[in-house]
Amino acid sequence: MKPTDTSNPEYFHQVVDCQFGCPAHTDVPAYIRMIAQGEFSDAYMENRKSNVFPGILGRVCDRPCEPACRRGRVEEKPVAICRLKRVAADHRDDITSRLPKAPATSNGKKVALIGAGCASLTVANDLAPLGYEVTIFEALDTTGGLMRTNIPQFRLPPKVLDEEIGYILDMGVDLKTNHPIESLKGLLTEGYDAVFVGTGAPRGKNLEIPGRYDSDRIHIGIDWLESVAFEHTKEIGKKVLIIGVGNTAMDCCRTSLRIGAEDVKVMARKPRGFFKASDWELEDAEEENVEILINHSPKEFVIEDGKLVGMKFELMEYKVDDNGRIDRGTVTGEKIIPCDDVVLAIGQDNAFPWIERDIGIEFDNWDCPVVDETTMMCAIDGVFFGGDSAFGPKNIIWAVEHGHQAAISMHRYCQGEDIADRLPRGMNLASQKMGMHEWSFSNDYDPASRRIMPHVDLKKRFKKLDIEVELGFTAEQAIQEVERCLNCDIQTVFSADLCIECDACIDICPVNCLTITANGDEDDLRSRLSAPAENHEQPLYVSADLPHTSRVMVKDEDLCVHCSLCAERCPTGAWDMQKSTLLVPYAQDELAEEQSTSAAST
């Protein structure tokens, strides 16, 4: 293999599994260390830089970082990254003075953002401080989009939403609530320099089976949740069936329990392991005694005397092949399960009835607009999409990242620059050595297991709809959990020219990730390392030829616990521990770059 090019920012970026897994590239290990030092406000601001809504995401993020976390490979459970984010948010001081502010004078450019959800709010957050006049149009009378209407208050208290959305609106954003956009064509004639569509995927999927329209006790999940959120719906029957087993289904079943249901069953078509819901959401629902019935495929609603009395299911049996793929299943029988209400939570679709089909936007087979994945622009110049409205339902953190990228494009577009010619990502590396064997971070491996989030007592939590179930980590829990982080951003950086091949690093490495051997191609090298290197998603770090023997140092990044012992045992300093900081450009960096270039040219 060729020597690894560590000057490419993407190399060390991919070693930081959590940050690499995060669509918004939050510098997780950096903020966890800030929490460890009690610098909660700094940790909050570090989060806010990339994910804008740390308090919200610290509760309800889909947390792609956690399945990616190296700790989950070294032992069973990843670091509770999401919960630590909430620790930063819960314990921060007043940070309003540290927030970006709009300049005194506008830059003369006006942008319109449609929908007041997380995607549009991120665009506003990035563009208002640059001097843009930002207008948000929202159909409802409140902000937050699905974060407010679909996530129940017992998971995400409204005051958390209000506070973090307030930070953005206070930058001088013009919010127009109760202002649905009925025609994009019309809006485009109103003189905005750029338009952003962040309207989500607002249409819950229906289930067209017999009996569907014979009762008013059959609800579409996301509409029903919204209705509960706005207190239009205040009760539900005693026996409730939730169809579908995604995260919306989990919110539906838990909401039902708080407004009158006593027996809630979640009906899954497939077996466990094929559920769409996140593991922790399933756990939380099951803790509340929600029953999940597997292998039940809906067949029809059972209506007697015009009243919904139950639902008929086909009982399924599936075969799973060696690759873990499931077949279509065979029907082995039928069963009627009695119920008073049914909530359909089987997915969401995009819907753009307000976008005229003759104005130049292309739509694909799923009625999604065709949007460039880098620039977020559609076929009409100056019209950008983000969040669920761009590529179908994803999650909040993706919407935030779309917002950041769209903001960069909108800025470049408004300044008359090529939107594809964006600033590249960069990387800083800085040694963390403080003394002979002292590092700037807690390098010892803490074998503590993952802390468990304390919950409000089962009896108490159902009394009201807005009792937040998760209490947040205690100080003791936070202190222990931060020590579980492996500091993957503090990289083992190797200088081949200094190596005397004494093997000290290889001998001390607790997870056998180092080898000095003759070079070869990747498959060959992987077969000759100190420990099996079977995780091909994790790279090998290959050095230049070593001075004494022309062999190479190979590091399998997979299970490195960043304990620094290789660097401590190295007599020549060939190994060093260096903090890699990914430099992610935002709209403000584009502006700064433009200003420095124009200053240089004058």
Provide the binding-site residues for another protein, judged by CB under 8 A.
74-75, 437-438, 443-445, 447, 500-504, 506-508, 510-513, 531-532, 534, 548-549, 559, 561, 563, 565, 568-572
> Residue 2, Cβ neighbours under 10 Å: how many?
7
Closer CB to another protein, residue 178 or residue 572?
A: 572
Closer CB to another protein, residue 425 or residue 551?
A: 551
Task: Name beta bridge partners: 193.
Answer: none
Closer CB to another protein, residue 214 or residue 545?
A: 545
CB of 37 to another protein, least distance (A): 19
Closer CB to another protein, residue 264 or residue 559?
A: 559
Query: What is the DSSP track for 45-67?
Result: HHHHHHHS-HHHHHHH---THHH
Please name the residue that has the structure tokens 């080898």: 515
> Residue 559, Cβ neighbours under 10 Å: how many?
18
HEC profile for 390-445? Answer: HHCCCCHHHHHHHHHHHHHHHHHHHCCCCCCCCCCCEEEEEECEEECCEECCCCCC
CB of 27 to another protein, least distance (A): 24
Closer CB to another protein, residue 552 or residue 570?
A: 570
Closer CB to another protein, residue 444 or residue 497?
A: 444
Least Cα distance to 425 among 11, 4, 1 occurs for 11
CB of 71 to another protein, least distance (A): 10
Query: What is the DSSP track for 149-210?
Result: HTS-TTTS-HHHHHHHHHHHHTTT-EEE-S-----HHHHHTS--SEEEE-----EEPP---T
Tokens of 492: 């083992």
For residues 31 and 88, the answer to whether their CB atoms sit within 8 Å is yes
Cα–Cα distance measured from residue 42 to residue 31, given in angstroms and rounded to the nearest whole number:
8
Please name the residue that has the structure tokens 């579908």: 244
CB of 360 to another protein, least distance (A): 55
Closer CB to another protein, residue 424 or residue 447?
A: 447
CB of 78 to another protein, least distance (A): 14
Task: Name beta bridge partners: 219.
Answer: 343
Task: Name beta bridge partners: 240.
Answer: 264, 341
Cα–Cα distance measured from residue 57 to residue 52, given in angstroms and rounded to the nearest whole number:
9
> Residue 108, Cβ neighbours under 10 Å: how many?
10
> Residue 319, Cβ neighbours under 10 Å: how many?
10
Closer CB to another protein, residue 69 or residue 591?
A: 69
Closer CB to another protein, residue 542 or residue 546?
A: 546
CB of 508 to another protein, least distance (A): 6
CB of 486 to another protein, least distance (A): 10
Q: Nearest 5°: phi and psi at 22?
A: -80, 125
CB of 554 to another protein, least distance (A): 15
246: amino acid identity, one letter: G
- Length of the chain (residues): 602
CB of 498 to another protein, least distance (A): 11
484: amino acid identity, one letter: R
Closer CB to another protein, residue 136 or residue 505?
A: 505
CB of 494 to another protein, least distance (A): 15
Tokens of 290: 């929600």
Task: Name beta bridge partners: 134.
Answer: 111
Closer CB to another protein, residue 14 or residue 512?
A: 512
CB of 581 to another protein, least distance (A): 25
Task: Name beta bridge partners: 315.
Answer: 296, 333
Please name the residue that has the structure tokens 């939590």: 461
Tokens of 29: 């290990």
Closer CB to another protein, residue 330 or residue 535?
A: 535
CB of 249 to another protein, least distance (A): 34
Task: Name beta bridge partners: 297.
Answer: 314
